[in-house]
Amino acid sequence: MHHLGNLYANLGESEQAEKYYLEAISEEEKLSDADGVARTRAQLGLLRMKEEKFEEALEDLFVAHDVLKKVSTGLANEILDKIERIQDALPADVFASIVRKLSVRDG
């Protein structure tokens, strides 16, 4: 499913890509595949970032980063770079508000 999401994302068909990423996440969660969930959430976050759905993108990227920092510092650093790009694209108060909202939801 993850690969189908990538395929549709590359074709510019965001809705189909998101559908397949979400299906992949569901399957990966059933299999307790934390690494797979993290990688798919990262891809979904990048897709949402391109669509300027910044709150959803940040949530996906934070989840991916939390898992990947335990298994792959290189990928975790790439995700931090994407989070910083969203931070640069938003006014500081908007970014801070989103991060607070995500922290409360997770906390």
The pLDDT assigned to 42 comes to 94
What is the C-alpha separation between 72 and 75, in angstroms, rounded? 6
The residues of the chain scoring below 70 in pLDDT are 105-107
pLDDT score, position 76: 86
Per-residue burial over 81-90, b if 16 or more Cβ lie within 10 Å, else e, is ebbeebbeeb
Q: Are 1 and 24 in contact (CB under 8 A)?
A: yes
CB neighbourhood size of 56 (10 A): 16
Instruction: Give the alpha-carbon dihedral of 5, 79, 25, 107, to 10 degrees.
Output: -150
**Residue 51: strand, helix, or coil:** coil
* Amino acid letter, 107: G
Instruction: Say which amino acid occupies 91.
Output: P
The confidence score (pLDDT) of residue 107 equals 54
Reported as a single tens digit per residue, the pLDDT across 65-84 is 988 887 777 888 889 999 99
pTM score: 0.82
